[in-house]
Structure 1
Amino acid sequence: MRSIPTHTLVLLIVATVIAGCRNDTNEDASTTSSSAATTAPTTSPAVVDLTALAPRAGYGIYDAGDGRCNLLAGHGLTSPVPVASVFKLWILDAVARSIDSGDIGWDTPVAIRNTLRSDPSGEVYGYPTGQEVTVSRLAELMISISDNTATDHLIDLSGRDAIGDVIRELAPDGAERTLPLLSTADMARLKFVHPNLGREYAALDPDARSQFVSTLPERGPFPWPDDPAAVNRLDLTTPRYVDEIEWFASGADICRTMVPLEGILSANPGLPPAQARAWTTTWFKGGSEPGVVTLAYRLATDDLDRVVVIALSDPDAPLTQQAEGQQIIEMILSAAQD
């Protein structure tokens, strides 16, 4: 497994606090589909209690100590699942590869372009056209506050083909469903701004999807440049096309994605303080959208190196917060110490 040199990664990862929701189904413990991961079935109580999180919920605890992803305990993440903003780790990897090759540097300036503005969340959306922002700052905002406009500028800088290569290498289980890669603006247009276009897109084969995406800005323009209040009139709570239009990965895919990111510093480990103290290193990236929550952790001590993935989804209803969900998540994270 290729590792990104520590000196090139100076980004911050900030936790997203999330709990779970009701679940009506259960799945049998399963094996990891990739050749880069092995399986050890578990009878951990987490398998039973995980059913309280969501209609579709899974977790995986992986040993990453040898640079591989050996499954120690897991349930429900053999097949690719929607992962929301966790996909931004692939963008980070692609950027770091470009830096390693000397094509760009962390201090390379990137000019803000109107054509790369996404939804009006985040910080970069409000920057004036032409303002220059370093690659380092864009990457920090992409990870720390999940800034979508920063993300789309980095997608443009790295190139979708190069990011696609990263996805095929690190996330082969979900690559077929993820590619062609959608930007955050593409996703917003297809799911929330012009869901009629999403319906068309979902019915297409991959080649036709690539062509369709190239026409999206013209066919589905954003309303908020001319009417900033337009975003308040959109339904941003109902899940749409959770299984059709998304970024996808199996648990092993996410583990393989976390393994090379050895130099990331964490401003917030995504853990309660008592659990965070049990590890010398804690890294976290979360992703959420209506009907989707994914949590990915890299946890290490002198003796242990673990990746923990928790993925929840409901294609029919938003995931609702409840205290029980956080308790179950903490139990799974505690099991990673065994």
Structure 2
Amino acid sequence: MLVIYLWNLCSGLLRTSLPVWVRLQVFVVMVSLLTASIVYIAYYLGLPWWWDRSPLVTIILLLVGNWLLVNVCFHYYMGVAVPVGYPPQGGLIPEAVSICKKCIKPKPPRTHHCSVCNKCILKMDHHCPWLNNCVGHYNHRHFFLYMVYTVIGIMFIMIFGVRLAYEEFFPEQEPELDGHPVRLNNLEIIPVTESLDHLSKEELAEIARQAAETEAREWQRRLIIFAGLICIATFTALGALAWWHAGLITRGETSIEARINSTESQKYRAQGKFYQNPYDFGPRENWKLFLGIKNRSWWHVLFPSNHGPYGDGLTWRTIHDSKIS
């Protein structure tokens, strides 16, 4: 239900009469606020809860959790801020495969026109309103790693928060008297329905303290429910999207090329032939090229790194060329 609500809300924003840049900035603000709220809840509820049980485990959780958070924030910022890559204006294009019908300019290989940006995008995958940016040659890696680290971070929160939630919603039963809740006050059981006029200031203060604790517990439960709904919805949506994009990366194609390659494969099969994606160098090589680590270590993926992709996005080697150097 929460996913449907967010989808309807986003669709409504896109249909409003506000300027396009304002509407799209709203999505970035929403992502930032939701992320900040989940982090706040994790610190506000999870940190003291785990610290009371094991300071050592808490320190380890802080290190792992903040490592994930830094990666999430870094890759989201880079996905939003990094220019996706455009064909040069007025410059020579080394290789053109067609003419853009909207720009009336030559298009390099793997370049497509974005109707939202109203520009041709190098190695375009799609336009992402949550980034207020296209996903293409220069920020594709950041977009994917943002999804991966977000999904891992949500799993981290859910795994280490489920016990807290269980104890919050299923606490030990308090004593009862004739079916009515009671409170303990210096070993004396006093029904809450009893008049409070005869009580001392200390007893009234104790009742006020208990009322404040009850209100705080209700607030905590609301926060847990909110965090749970957001985490489940985000994990489901981003997890499925990340898994799908991982398949595309494994095959060396973008989401646009996946449709093109599917159509070409059907045409070739009808002719008794086999179509091969010209940018598919095998799963291992495809991942190295996508992550930009063919000549770099895996540490560039585990920690924030602003290294760019291979090539300028204007020319592309294919399986028909010599081995990539």
- Which structure is higher in RCO with an 8 Å CA cutoff and minimum separation 6? 1
The structure where helix makes up a greater share of residues is 2
TM-score interval w.r.t. the shorter chain? Answer: under 0.3
Determine which structure has more spread, i.e. the larger CA radius of gyration.
2
TM-score (normalised: structure 1):
0.23
TM-score (normalised: structure 2):
0.24
